[in-house]
Amino acid sequence: MALVFKRDAGARNGERGWSIEETAYDPRFAAKIESVFALGNGYMGIRAATEERYAHETRGFYVAGLFDAFPGEVTELANLPDWLTLELEIDGERFTCESGTM
């Protein structure tokens, strides 16, 4: 896995800054990278994923307190629709901002 952690001693306000970088893509570690780069604010969170879709990735968007429960199964956070790669079709034709009109 090509994951680099960097610390910057010269950050503003006397605090030490840091950054995390993925220097090379390796599909064997996609799930770990998606977890490391996940983003949330305590109310909602999104699992990191590439802009392109890959068969092995696990996309996820979650809202705190919103659960998915079925009788006889474990209650878990509901995985909401992926809003990062939304594709819109109108009358069976893919709509894009580059070529579509409304």
Whether 36 is covered by a domain: the verdict is yes
Tally of domains within the chain? 1
Domain CATH number, residue 78: 2.70.98.40
CA dihedral 33, 35, 41, 46 (to 10 degrees): 90
Tens digit of each residue's pLDDT, the chain (102 residues): 567 777 766 556 666 677 888 887 777 888 888 888 888 998 999 988 766 666 677 788 889 888 887 787 778 888 888 777 766 778 888 776 556 555
DSSP state of 80: -
How far apart are the C-alpha atoms of 76 and 90, rounded to whole Å?
34
- 100 residue type, one letter: G
Range(s) of the domain holding residue 36: 2-95
DSSP 26-70: -GGGHHHHHHHT-EE-SSEEEE---SS--TT---EEEETT-EE--
